[in-house]
Structure 1
Amino acid sequence: MTIDTSSDVRYDPYDVELNRDPHPMFARIREEAPLYYNAQHDFYALSRYDDVDAALLDHETFSSARGAILEIIKADMEIPSGTLIFEDPPIHNIHRKLLSRIFTPRKVGALEPKIREFTARCLDPLVGTGRFDFVADLGSQMPMRVIGMLLGIPEADQSNVIEHGDSTLRTERGGKMTENPNGAIATGEVFAEFIDWRAEHPADDIMTELLTAEFADETGATRRLGRDELLLYLQVIATAGAETTTRLIGWAGKLLAEHPDQRRDMVANRTLLPAAVEELIRYEPPAIHISRYVTRDVEYYGQTVPAGSAMVTLVAAANRDPRRFGSDAHEFNVHRPIRQHLGFGVGTHFCLGNALARMEGRIALDEILDRFPEWEVDLTHAEISPTSTVRGWESMPAVLP
């Protein structure tokens, strides 16, 4: 079924108040309008786990080549080559394989002691102060340090890198990325001076590896990455990695304050940490929806979605679908048996840095619980992030006993 525009079952991705807590509406859409149509913004939406999972796996019907964000698809923008998240196979597979060199288990695992040391450096000065902001004091800093560790970017330059990418995600309240004066897609120019210097001074690091790597492109020609391609590659790595971890840590502060019994269980039993990270991302995924361009007519629930439409897959709704996660899917539970969710996507666009994000989340929780086993959040001073694509907190202040 498709709902009509007079129904009070309504989802608008640009409605700030609705997006403060979209889950009650997502639950209604999932049950009452499993194929939802929004006439105002002209998009369809899927919300049940099996439908969202299948759509994200079917890149031939649901294409990323026109963007993975609703307003970019609707604007019919030209997508720069090398914007990995806005590509389909086979070119996506070629570019993804190159980037996979960065996220090998060995390279990710080698970062753990460095990430733990940095986390301790952030948290130790706060012990005894009575306050701790999960985002400002840790969540917003950790990702850029980790990306810097991966790519060899000096600490002094890391803030500029993240701020450059984040500026394209930040919008006015209720605004669209296509209305952003900084542009809807970060170009990666912030990396230009660094890669030019590295090209003249090669080293045993990932940046040098990307500069010198040869690959067979979609035409069959063997070549290296062009400068503009490399800039976009680096921007995708920096921005995508930053958003996931920052929002994860912010939600951890809020949800574990609201569930003190589960927090106490984690303090006593650190083997719960991996499951807690999975539950945080399932329950409050930073990317609450992923959009695709529909390449052919497709039918859902007796209705046809015509080719040329925009389809919004409501990841946050699918992640609480009781058909997948049981009758308590709407509850936060770190003891929940781990089962694949859609917080990192699925299929050809499954998050390449998922293992790194999971490790960052686990280390952050471990180090936080060591120092602050109890806290209350100060929601009157918490600030939600103003973006149309990523839902999370700009600040999540906590009061410590």
Structure 2
Amino acid sequence: MTVDATSDVYFDPYDVTINADPYPTFRRLREEAPLYYNQQRDFFALSRYEDVKRGIVDHGLYSSAKGAILELIRADFPIPSGVLIFEDPPIHDIHRKLLARMFTPRKIAVLEEKIRQYCADSLDPVVGSGKFDFVTDLGALMPMKTISALIGIPEGDQQAVRDYVTEQMKTEAGQPMKAAEEGLVSGEIFADYIDWRVDHPSDDIMTELLNVEFVDETGATRRLTRDELLIYLNVVAGAGNDTTTRLIGWAGKVLAEHPDQRRQLVDDPELIPRAVEELVRFEPPAPHVARYVTRDVEYYGRTVPQGAVMMMLIGAGNRDHRQFAPDGDEFDINREPRAHLGFSVGAHHCLGASLARLEGRVALEEILKRFPEWTVDLPNAVLSSTSTIRGWDCLPAFVP
């Protein structure tokens, strides 16, 4: 299908075949159609690193206020206050500051011991079994426990909450998100916890959000409303669970395919933080983000009209040889560090990036201690069907 005036390259975020390995398509987009238009889905896309970076940063031209996912922008329904990733400054900045104080370096650093114990609790029971699933045995468990501890979710309820927030991102293969038709989930699952915390405060995000005072966009000093609290908790729980789960899954697959680099990490664990950074660059769990175009803009001799949807292809930009020479499609933990887009940039830089880096580092340290060698059982691995977060629902491996 021809969708560009100068190239027959085709990209569709809902295409299951493309999603299984989008990088050949991304490479062609960068070189043949750096401004791409899909007529069937009616969206434009940028794929080169500098274009994607500038686009994400420029919130005046590319607005998040209608959503950051293609089908949500097209649905054009009101976005509830407090959904940070679907807001523009200055309202975004006001809401982000409330959460930023809860993700300070000090608060993240003190989680390391807990995260390491969560990893040990998940990994030790499978030692000696000859097999290990990077997602179901660890990736779906440790991030859930970590973010639940931060928020204040009781242990017995953590899996239900994880399943609830994960289900919001799920799609049928090849289909848009249900939220495009049904609206965003309000976070009502957290209501009982909020009621409990009113009378039983603790050292967690929920308690802090209940009590924090701030100056809102009208200049009024106030506390968060109940609805805002529910939305905040929903956003934090969702962001804290799914992406780190996918990161751990990709670590299993990519390091299996690069055994020499995996052995480097076993021999020199000091390289693990660089490996985590390279993994996020190489296989970003969130491979694209969409924006609403607020005014006409020109790229490569073509005009993108006001009101269009522009997809910023983070996964394509993260492999652009112009930024990651000589070959961005090569995984290399010894690569000279360069800024990537895996945690986004600008106003929407991932608030939990330091937590994700910590979880990724500790997870790899604990995995490699126990399993210095593994091979992935790809015939029995399952790639998630969602079009927005790319990763594995299960990734079984054989271990000595």
Whether the aligned pair in 2 keeps the contact of 1:66 and 1:79 (CA below 8 Å) is yes
For structure 2, list consecutive stretches of 5 or more residues without a partner in the other structure: none
Matched, 1:123 2:128: no
Deviations 1:283-310 (A, max 9, x none): 0001110000000111111111000000
Match of 1:307 in 2: 306
d(CA) in 2 for partners of 1:209, 1:4: 50
Match of 2:344 in 1: 345
Compute the displacement of 1:178 (Å).
3.5
d(CA) in 2 for partners of 1:178, 1:51: 30
Query: Secondary structure of the equivalent of 2:101?
Result: coil
d(CA) in 2 for partners of 1:195, 1:202: 10
Deviations 1:33-80 (A, max 9, x none): 000000000000000000000000100100000000001001112211
d(CA) in 2 for partners of 1:205, 1:80: 24
Matched, 1:152 2:140: no
Query: Secondary structure of the equivalent of 2:310?
Result: strand
Match of 1:217 in 2: 216
Q: Give runs of aligned pairs for residues 2-401 of structure 1, distance below 5 A.
A: 4=4, 7-178=7-178, 183-401=182-400
Whether the aligned pair in 2 keeps the contact of 1:131 and 1:399 (CA below 8 Å) is yes
TM-score under structure 2 length normalisation: 0.97
Whether the aligned pair in 2 keeps the contact of 1:168 and 1:180 (CA below 8 Å) is no
d(CA) in 2 for partners of 1:79, 1:324: 35
Whether the aligned pair in 2 keeps the contact of 1:290 and 1:312 (CA below 8 Å) is yes
Compute the displacement of 1:8 (Å).
2.8
**Shift in CA distance, 380/146, structure 1 to aligned 2, threshold 3 Å:** same
**Shift in CA distance, 184/358, structure 1 to aligned 2, threshold 3 Å:** farther
Count, aligned residues = 399
Compute the displacement of 1:159 (Å).
1.2
**Shift in CA distance, 184/13, structure 1 to aligned 2, threshold 3 Å:** farther
**Shift in CA distance, 150/324, structure 1 to aligned 2, threshold 3 Å:** same
Identity of aligned residues (%): 63
Deviations 1:369-394 (A, max 9, x none): 00000000000000000101011000
Whether the aligned pair in 2 keeps the contact of 1:3 and 1:33 (CA below 8 Å) is no
d(CA) in 2 for partners of 1:286, 1:28: 21
Deviations 1:118-172 (A, max 9, x none): 1001000111000000000000111110111112221111112111111110110
d(CA) in 2 for partners of 1:373, 1:180: 44
Query: Secondary structure of the equivalent of 2:164?
Result: helix
d(CA) in 2 for partners of 1:184, 1:262: 44
d(CA) in 2 for partners of 1:184, 1:397: 34
Query: Which deviates more from structure 2 when the two are superposed, residues 163-172 or residues 378-387?
Result: 163-172
For structure 1, list consecutive stretches of 5 or more residues without a partner in the other structure: none
TM-score under structure 1 length normalisation: 0.97
Compute the displacement of 1:204 (Å).
3.5
